[in-house]
Amino acid sequence: MPMFSNDSRQFKFDVLREISTEAFKGDLDEAEIQARARNMVSLSSPRVRCCVYKEREVLRQRVRLALGEMADDAAAYNPKQIVQVIDAACDGCTIRKIRVTDNCRKCMAKACMAACHFDAISMGTDRSQIDYTKCKECGACARACPYNAIVVTERPCYAHCPVQAISWDENNIAVIDEEKCIDCGQCELACPFGACEDISWVVPVITALRMKTPTFAIVAPSIQGQFGGASLAQIKKSIEMLGFEKCWEVAIGADIVAYHEAQELKEHMEQGRPMTTSCCTAFVNMLRIHYPQQYEENKSSLVTPMIALARKLKQEYPDHGVVFIGPCVAKKQEAMSEISAVDYVLTFEELLAMLASQNIVPEQVEAGADSEQASNFGRGFAQAGGVAAAVQQALKESGDGPATCVYADGAMECKKQLTLMKAGRFTANILEGMSCIGGCIGGPAAIEQMAMVKGRMVKENRENPNHSIGESLEHHVFKDVDMEVTDKKEEGEAR
Amino acid sequence: MVTVEVCIGSACYVRGSNQVVNLLNDMIREKNWSDQVALKGSFCMKACQNHIGLGIRVNGKMVPGVTLQNAREMVEKEVSEALA
């Protein structure tokens, strides 16, 4: 039964499930895997591309990514670049932004010609024509046409990339500029052909589990409600059934981050410097790469909740591995591009593939009471506005006054607010930046619809006994855990 | 009992530690060592940072200079010595 309404995502999932099934069996050999996976596409399977050979090449590159290799055979392994282009899958679409369609009536008014400031439009034999050597892609002609005959379309990957990291080569295949890319995964969400995809480490994680290596799973707060009607306790139990020793909520790390961020905010407020939140990796990458001055001056010095909790666990259990599971692609870059307390990062999609390969259905799993709960404020990090709300709560709990917050919903809005900050025109105390619209629950590897997840979270969190951040931190002690990014400049340096 | 630990952290995985696990499993089977040798997984043992090849420990001691190509030979030697 298909689990995703989108065929290209379903295909990605099917590949991950196949690979997971093989990896759990063990003795994985790449050539064998490729040979077996090849059966997923055959002459009799429904054609989705021009021919079976193209489909097989797309499949082959997908299998490479699922095995933790670069999609491009010739590229050197680079864990800094998580999002990659499967060149066989790229359709090389819509290079020309402005086009005249059949709707053109070759009218007398010729509003398009009048609207064009660059003399790029002329009247052809049956419709108006654009001279692309002159066209500046301003769209004035499209707005002027009374028949909506001129359309403005952009490549979805390019249109959704917040940092203009996407261009195309001489064959119109998308190319990602690694110097600019923030690994936010927006192109993955946008591409209708599933040509932008993230590299996966399901195989080594499954190997670790199969060899009974002691490993913890730490799950992003946005995991609540992602698996049908399964409760958080059921989801955690399902993950433990895969072989993880224990599953922890990263929301615990979020509680401690909110606490420290509130303390740091007080310093920022005294000095009249706005502070940006540090939990969203793609947002931090945007700061680091595209707004270096704000990165130095305004970014909170704290690690992300993922790293905070992983450091605590590594301190208490040095021989254990830590695997983060989230809806996020950028988290893979954060944990994998340098040596960190997190050994591997998986996405919800990959987790679902692993569960499906072992026939574990979270909704049907029996789970006991959950004794290791975070506060609802830590859990709120999953949603738009939740981070600033948690920092406000932490301020309140320490007896300090409220701060003013601006919430930037989505990468485009983050960019806008950072530009204001750069110009000295950002007036609030906190900028909460979330690269995905709606927060982590809108992440590129989230499974369920956002509205559905929100409703389930509210319902489940009513039962949570931890009413404040303080209560959660009484239970989860972060003694001597380093909460600062070790060296800001080194962040993001290669492993 | 001799314990052989293989690092399956990402830096070693990319250099083929997953295949090393397969090779060593084959070795244990062929040598009939299954009662004497325990093959275990481990996370980063800093072999990558110290540039000493793949992370492999035999009875808790690092074996430097292991690659995918020489893994079986080197581990076989270490294990034979430990068993002797």
Strand A275-276 relative to strand A430-434: parallel, antiparallel, unpaired?
A: parallel
CA atoms within 13 A on the CB side of B84: 6
Supply B2's token pair: 């001799």
How many whole angstroms separate alpha carbon A226 and alpha carbon A454? 10
Supply B33's token pair: 């060592």
The model's pLDDT over B55-83, given as tens digits with 9 standing for 90+, comes to 999 999 999 999 999 999 999 999 999 98
CB contact under 8 A, A343 and B13: no
B44 touches chain A (CB under 8 A): yes
CB contact under 8 A, B10 and A320: no
Q: Nearest-CA residue of chain B relative to A314?
A: B43
**pLDDT at residue A66, rounded to an integer:** 94
3-state SS assignment for residue B71? helix
The structural domains of chain B, with segments of one domain joined by +, span 2-83
- Going from the C-alpha of A338 to that of each of A78, A172, A196, A302, A331, the distances in angstroms are 11, 33, 23, 17, 12
Q: Vertex A296, ends A271 and A221: CA angle to 5°?
A: 95
**pLDDT at residue A400, rounded to an integer:** 85
List of chain B residues whose C-beta atoms are within 8 Å of the C-beta of residue A27 = 22, 25
CATH architecture for segment(s) B2-83 = 3-Layer(aba) Sandwich (3.40)
CB contact under 8 A, A339 and B44: yes
How many whole angstroms separate alpha carbon A51 and alpha carbon B18? 34
Supply A258's token pair: 């909110």
How many whole angstroms separate alpha carbon A90 and alpha carbon B12? 31
**pLDDT at residue B65, rounded to an integer:** 92
**pLDDT at residue A495, rounded to an integer:** 38
> Using only C-alpha atoms, what is the Rg of chain A?
24
How many whole angstroms separate alpha carbon A440 and alpha carbon A200? 19
**Is the separation of the CB atoms in B14 and A76 below 8 Å?**
no
Out of 3.50.30.30, 3.30.9.10, 3.30.70.20, 1.10.287.110, the CATH code matching A7-92+156-199 is 3.30.70.20
pTM over 0.90: yes
CB contact under 8 A, B25 and A27: yes
**pLDDT at residue A487, rounded to an integer:** 53
The structural domains of chain A, with segments of one domain joined by +, span 7-92+156-199, 98-152, 203-490
Q: pLDDT of chain A along its 495 residues, tens only?
A: 567 888 899 999 999 999 999 999 987 788 888 888 888 899 998 888 999 999 999 999 999 999 999 999 999 999 889 999 999 999 988 778 899 999 999 999 999 999 999 999 999 998 999 999 999 999 999 999 999 999 998 899 999 999 999 999 999 999 999 999 999 999 999 999 999 999 999 999 999 999 999 999 999 999 999 999 999 999 999 999 999 999 999 999 999 999 999 999 999 999 999 999 999 999 999 999 999 999 999 999 999 999 999 999 999 999 999 999 999 999 999 998 888 899 999 999 999 999 999 999 999 999 888 778 899 999 999 999 999 999 999 999 988 878 999 999 999 999 999 999 999 999 999 999 999 999 999 999 999 999 999 999 999 999 888 789 999 999 899 988 888 887 544 444 443
A321 touches chain B (CB under 8 A): yes
B50 touches chain A (CB under 8 A): no
Helices (H), A38-139: 52-66, 111-115
Neighbours of B58 (CB within 10 A): 19
Supply A319's token pair: 């021989």
Q: Which of these, A110, A157, A119, A122, lies nearest to A138 by C-alpha position?
A: A119
Burial class (CB in 10 A: 0-12, 13-18, 19+), A5: exposed
Q: Nearest-CA residue of chain A relative to B49?
A: A495
Supply A260's token pair: 């420290």
Query: A 301-320 residues with CB below 8 A of B?
Result: 319-320
Task: Give the domain A98-152 fold.
Answer: Alpha-Beta Plaits (3.30.70)
Q: Vertex A320, ends A491 and A310: CA angle to 5°?
A: 35
List of chain A residues whose C-beta atoms are within 8 Å of the C-beta of residue B54 = none
CB contact under 8 A, A213 and B18: no
List of chain A residues whose C-beta atoms are within 8 Å of the C-beta of residue B39 = 211
- Going from the C-alpha of B23 to that of each of A305, A391, B16, B20, the distances in angstroms are 38, 51, 11, 5
CB pairs under 8 A between A and B: 61
- The DSSP result for A60-72, as a single string, is HHHHHHHTTS-SS
Burial class (CB in 10 A: 0-12, 13-18, 19+), A31: exposed
Q: Which of these, A242, A253, A163, lies nearest to A206 by C-alpha position?
A: A242
A215 touches chain B (CB under 8 A): yes
**Is the separation of the CB atoms in A337 and A189 below 8 Å?**
no
A51 touches chain B (CB under 8 A): no
Q: Nearest-CA residue of chain B relative to A202?
A: B10
**pLDDT at residue A339, rounded to an integer:** 84
List of chain B residues whose C-beta atoms are within 8 Å of the C-beta of residue A77 = 14
For residue A494, give every residue at least 6 positions away whose Cβ sits within 8 Å of its Cβ, in sequence order, or none: A78, A79, A80, A337, A338
How many whole angstroms separate alpha carbon A6 and alpha carbon A9? 5
Query: To the nearest whole angstrom, how far is the Cα of B81 from the nearest Cα of chain A?
Result: 24
**pLDDT at residue A1, rounded to an integer:** 54
What is the value of ipTM here, to two decimals?
0.94
